[in-house]
Amino acid sequence: MGCGRVGSRLATIMDKEGHAVTILDTHPKSFARLPEDFNGNQIVGDGTNAALLRSAGAESAQVFVAVTQGDNRNIMASQIARELFQIPKVVTRIYDPIRQEIFKDLGLETYSPTTVLTNLIHQSIEQ
């Protein structure tokens, strides 16, 4: 869910590796980030809508990734994917490091770009 810079790059990589990919975004123009030879499905809509996720194939999905610009939307969609559809692997981007830790403690696999970049820069300084 999310066809921004991260979502489109990840979808492209997964598609090129031969995985069946469905990407959702609320903005149809976002799909322009995908290469012309992208073989996956592109669905316009909100990933917090369970009926839309069902029609997108969530019931048989092995992985769900939420990388929109909104923490609340990412968290909500990830919880729906995990709880309602029991998708085995759910990965969520959360910008706010404090919220990221809270939802990580609740069992979501979360990544905060703020935390990741801070750690990388710190490692670079310490080397």
User: How far is the C-alpha of 42 from the C-alpha of 54, rounded, in Å?
Assistant: 14
- Look up the domain containing 75 and give its range: 5-126
pLDDT at 108 over 90: no
User: What's the pTM value of the predicted model, to 2 decimals?
Assistant: 0.92
Domain count within the chain: 1
Q: Give the model confidence (pLDDT) of 66-99 as tens digits.
A: 999 999 999 999 999 999 999 999 999 999 988 8
Which sign, positive or negative, has the C-alpha torsion 60, 63, 69, 72?
positive
CATH of the domain at 60: 3.40.50.720
At 12, is the pLDDT very low, low, confident or very high (cuts 50, 70, 90)? very high
